Amino acid sequence: MKSSFFKRYLLPGFIFQSVVIAGGYGTGREIIQYFLMYGPLGGLLGMIFISTVMWSVILAVTFEFSRLFKAYDYRTFFKQLLGKYWFIFEIMYLIGMLLVLGVIGATAGSLMRDNFDIPYMAGVLLMMAVVGFLTFRGSSFIEKFLASWSIILYGIYAIIFVAAVYKFGDVIQENFATGEIKPGWWQNGFYYAFYNFTVIPAVLFCVRHIETRKEAVSAGILAGVLGIFPGFLFYIAVVSQYPEVISEEIPMVYLLNGIGSKILTIVFQVVLFGTLIETGTGFIHAFNERVQSAFKSKAKEFPQYMRPLVAIILLLCGLGASTFGLVALIAKGYLYLGWGIFGVFIIPLLTIGIYKLKHHSQQA
């Protein structure tokens, strides 16, 4: 019974958080770019009242649409939602995937080089090997890995939060007390929510555990909260470094250096490397599920050995994107991607999608 409850209500949220973190806030750069730049209070408002609410609402509708039409891969999902125009989302997804793989590729190489004296390419190759292994093992194994690593990640973020509050509590309170809210806080809350919906295909495979509308809606609302919670803890902590942290490429490292715990810094680097693997695995597994769906439609079997091969090819393509630099990818690429996702996913889901859900319910 406990396992069933976990898979139906909590697992989708853990998977969502696992996939969104490396592309969404693992380094902390995204939190700075889309929230803290608009003032401590402005960023907090954007995170809670815009991004989190948007995530919960859209995920709730998405999970119910996926459940009702048994659309557990993005090819099937968007054929139901967009009909013959489903391929438009695939174009956006591939662009988004390469952007995110570029971010995690650049981060993985830099992380190993700067903190463990491991050559840049060795760090990238290690990540490729692990992602390839996970994609080869398939959905069930990936579910267990992503959920387990999420629990570890919640723990380390909680420890960082406590350490920051303990050392910089007065500074955090003072920065929030200024009430600083800069123009653009709510727009960037939307942008942040939009571009992160690129990860939706990576969550669909675990929706097959959900059986009722109540479960779908509840799991969606919880997923929004579970997805943002580690980012929320980091945000409170990093306010202690405002405004100096704004220009830092990897704000989390800057915060950890300020806290001054070498052990905590090393542990986080290991956990961060795991989040890069999580995100890469989620994106690539979603693409593999889409390919498998295409094979099934032609009464063919998708060869298991092709899964890690696809993973390696996509990661290599992502490395090409990483040459543009982490800050540039996040500041420019994600912004354009956010508007694309808004047009080809959010608007159709909240119009066509809700109409089809209502029409289906009336026929039932």
Q: For residue range 210-250, what is the model confidence (pLDDT) as tens digits?
A: 999 999 999 999 999 999 999 999 999 999 999 999 999 78
Cα separation, 190 vs 53, in Å, equals: 10
**What is the DSSP code (8-state) at residue 325?**
-
% of the chain exceeding 90 in pLDDT:
55
Tens digits of residue pLDDT in 113-166: 888 888 988 888 888 889 889 998 888 999 999 999 989 999 999 999 999 999
Q: Which domains does the chain have, with CATH numbers?
A: 2-363 (1.20.1740.10)
pLDDT-derived band at 1 (thresholds 50, 70, 90) equals very low
Among 256, 267, 248, residue whose Cα is nearest residue 116 = 267
Query: Does residue 173 carry a pLDDT above 80?
Result: yes
| Phi then psi dihedrals of residue 194, to 5 deg | -60, -55
Give mean pLDDT, residues 286-311. 88
What local confidence, expressed as pLDDT, does residue 249 receive? 78
State the angle between helix axes of 120-137 and 139-177 in degrees (0 to 180), rounded to the nearest 10.
130
Instruction: Look at residues 268, 290, 6 and name the one whose alpha carbon lies nearest to residue 146.
Output: 6
More confident residue, 336 or 90: 90
CA 199 to chain centre: 6
Mean pLDDT of 328-343: 72
Residue burial 287-307, b: 16+ Cβ < 10 Å; e: rest: bbbbbbbeeeeeeeebeeeeb
pLDDT reading at 364 higher than 70 = no
Question: What pLDDT does 188 receive?
Answer: 92
At 13 the pLDDT is: 95
pLDDT in the model for residue 194: 85
Q: 16 CB contacts (<8 Å, ≥6 apart)? A: 59, 199, 203, 223, 226, 227
Q: What is the pLDDT of residues 56-67, one digit of tens each?
A: 999 999 999 999
Mean of the pLDDT values across residues 89-110?
81
pLDDT at 256 over 80: yes
